[in-house]
């Protein structure tokens, strides 16, 4: 088989399927899947995989602490030969929640298209990735038996809270030699490293008192605020001692995403709960972050007499880099070849969390992995999230060509 003709034919097939899977993207956006509520969207993707003739399995990761399940659905196309190499294409179906529908210019679950952009919750992060993954599965399904590689298409959940779905696939024995996650990158950028993350659910508890007697008791709410200020100070200290990592300036942060305490202003609350995310780079680790936070909280508890508790999220992780791998270099070459080298292709680290650490070879070593696609857009996790539809086919062609070259 002539390699050049095969690449050209594959790209033509991707282009033919473009409109079909832009419509699939609309269908996905119209199926809400915020955070853990992904059942309907997982079912939708599974049905499309079955229709394409993929061999489908459904790994699930369960968090015993919370009782929450993180399902995934994996479709496979087995390649030719004995023991062929395995390439994973991965994207996540869970989205950020919609906090206030009225702040959107259009219904976030109607997938409105205007001026070449599609609007909706999760359209960029990451349902365009899911639609693109299905397009690639469709394109490769016509001749996968001629490929010297097995392709796994993983639709996962739990990405927005730490990468649970991809771990479900790894725990189910979905090993690979290379993996491309369609998430978080525009057409000329590749992500190959990410910060570490710690997710903590904290609480302080004490005794309630009338507001006029507030000085006689210690407020759990004020204790939580004091702890947050202490964490912010520690983050600044880390940034001063290690001002950059893998090109990220000030690679440490803290965000308090949720604080809940009390029911009214007439009483000091009995309890305050706070959810905190902390991002960090080496030499800081999950263990050292947790020790620092617990030390600060224990001091506050000792000074106030309040009770303190902390639940560490199931999937906190250290920083991870997958630099200098063959997949990244091949993808860069493909993009330059197909796009004429007009603009430089850059690989970089990302401050957010992603799943690079969950792709492993048969011998347990990290597979060559990166994030690329689904393309440009804006406002992920915010109102009026959108995706640039014009990027859909070119990015899919870049990925398809890379898979073909890698397989060969």
CA-closest candidate to residue 91, choices 175, 151, 176, 163: 163
Question: What pLDDT score does 315 carry?
Answer: 67
Give how many domains the chain has, as a whole number. 2
**200 shares a domain with 179:** no
**301 shares a domain with 172:** no
Tens of pLDDT, residues 277-298: 999 999 999 999 999 999 999 9
**104 shares a domain with 14:** yes
> Could you give phi then psi for residue 199, rounded to 5 degrees?
-115, 120
CATH number reported for the structural domain that contains residue 297 in this entry: 3.30.70.360
Q: What percent of the chain has pLDDT over 90?
A: 80
- Choose the final residue of a domain: 265, 286, 312: 312
Question: What pLDDT score does 355 carry?
Answer: 84
Question: Is the separation of the CB atoms in 133 and 153 below 8 Å?
Answer: yes
- Choose the final residue of a domain: 312, 331, 352: 312
Is 90 exceeded by the pLDDT of residue 360?
Answer: yes
For 27, the token pair is 């269908």
Measured CA to CA, the distance from residue 406 to residue 372 in angstroms comes to: 15
CATH number reported for the structural domain that contains residue 102 in this entry: 3.40.630.10
**327 shares a domain with 305:** no
Using alpha carbons, list the distances in angstroms from residue 337 to 148, 340, 345.
Answer: 23, 6, 11
Q: Quickly count: other Cβ atoms within 10 Å of residue 239's Cβ.
A: 17
Residue in this structure with the two tokens 């259009």, named with its chain if needed: 106
Give bridge partners of residue 77 from the DSSP assignment: 151
Is 80 exceeded by the pLDDT of residue 237?
Answer: yes
Q: Determine if the pTM surpasses 0.85.
A: yes
Measured CA to CA, the distance from residue 121 to residue 283 in angstroms comes to: 36
- Choose the final residue of a domain: 248, 278, 312: 312
E strands, 120-195, are 149-156, 178-181, 189-194
**285 shares a domain with 163:** no
Is 80 exceeded by the pLDDT of residue 38?
Answer: yes
**276 shares a domain with 138:** no
Mean of the pLDDT values across residues 89-118?
96
Question: What pLDDT score does 307 carry?
Answer: 97
**156 shares a domain with 62:** yes
Task: Pick 302 or 162 by higher pLDDT.
Answer: 302
Banded pLDDT at 29 (limits 50, 70, 90): very high
Measured CA to CA, the distance from residue 306 to residue 258 in angstroms comes to: 20
Distance from the Cα of residue 88 to its chain's centroid: 15
Question: What pLDDT score does 129 carry?
Answer: 98
Average pLDDT of every residue of the chain = 92
**347 shares a domain with 308:** no
Is 80 exceeded by the pLDDT of residue 343?
Answer: no
Question: What pLDDT score does 341 carry?
Answer: 67
**149 shares a domain with 200:** no
**242 shares a domain with 155:** no
What range does the domain containing 272 cover?
Answer: 196-312
Contact residues for 306 (Cβ-Cβ < 8 A; gap 6+): 204, 205, 206, 218, 220, 223, 300
Banded pLDDT at 5 (limits 50, 70, 90): very low
Residue in this structure with the two tokens 């910060």, named with its chain if needed: 195
Is 50 exceeded by the pLDDT of residue 241?
Answer: yes
Q: Quickly count: other Cβ atoms within 10 Å of residue 54's Cβ.
A: 25
- Determine the Cα angle at 123 with ends 130 and 139, to 5°: 30
**181 shares a domain with 222:** no
CA dihedral 282, 285, 289, 292 (to 10 degrees): -90
Mean of the pLDDT values across residues 179-194?
94
**167 shares a domain with 66:** yes
Measured CA to CA, the distance from residue 363 to residue 392 in angstroms comes to: 35
């Amino acid at each position: 088989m002539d390699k050049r003709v095969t690449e050209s034919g594959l790209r033509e097939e991707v282009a033919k399927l473009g409109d079909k899977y832009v419509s699939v993207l609309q269908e996905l956006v119209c199926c809400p899947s915020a955070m853990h509520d992904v059942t309907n969207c997982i079912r939708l993707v599974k049905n499309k995989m079955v229709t394409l003739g993929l061999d489908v399995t459904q790994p699930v990761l369960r968090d015993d602490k919370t009782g929450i399940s993180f399902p995934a659905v994996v479709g496979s196309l087995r390649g030719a030969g004995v023991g062929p190499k395995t390439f994973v294409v991965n994207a996540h179906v869970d989205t950020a929640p919609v906090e206030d529908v009225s702040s959107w210019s259009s219904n976030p679950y109607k997938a409105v298209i205007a001026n070449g952009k599609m609007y909706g919750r999760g359209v960029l992060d990451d349902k365009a990735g899911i639609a693109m993954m299905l397009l690639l599965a469709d394109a490769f399904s016509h001749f996968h038996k001629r490929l010297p590689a097995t392709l796994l298409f993983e639709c996962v959940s739990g990405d927005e809270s730490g990468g649970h779905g991809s771990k479900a696939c790894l725990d189910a024995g979905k090993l690979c030699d290379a993996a491309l996650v369609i998430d978080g990158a525009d057409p000329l950028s590749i992500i190959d490293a990410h910060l570490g993350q710690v997710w903590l659910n904290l609480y302080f508890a004490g005794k309630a008192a009338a507001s006029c007697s507030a000085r006689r008791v210690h407020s759990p709410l004020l204790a939580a605020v004091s702890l947050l200020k202490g964490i912010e100070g520690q983050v600044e200290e880390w940034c001063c001692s290690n001002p950059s990592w893998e090109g990220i300036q000030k690679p440490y942060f803290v965000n308090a995403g949720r604080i809940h305490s009390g029911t009214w202003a007439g009483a000091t609350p009995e309890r305050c709960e706070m959810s905190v995310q902390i991002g960090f780079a080496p030499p800081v680790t999950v263990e050292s972050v947790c020790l620092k936070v617990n030390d600060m909280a224990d001091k506050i508890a000792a000074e106030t007499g309040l009770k303190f508790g902390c639940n560490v999220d199931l999937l906190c992780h250290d920083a991870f880099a997958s630099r200098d791998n063959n997949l990244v270099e091949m993808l860069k070459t493909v993009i330059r070849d197909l796009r004429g080298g007009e603009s430089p292709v850059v690989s970089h680290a990302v401050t957010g969390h992603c799943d690079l650490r969950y792709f492993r070879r048969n011998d347990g070593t990290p597979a060559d992995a990166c994030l690329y696609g689904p393309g440009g857009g804006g406002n992920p996790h915010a109102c009026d999230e959108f995706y640039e539809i014009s990027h859909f086919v070119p990015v899919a062609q870049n990925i398809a060509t890379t898979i073909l070259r890698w397989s060969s």
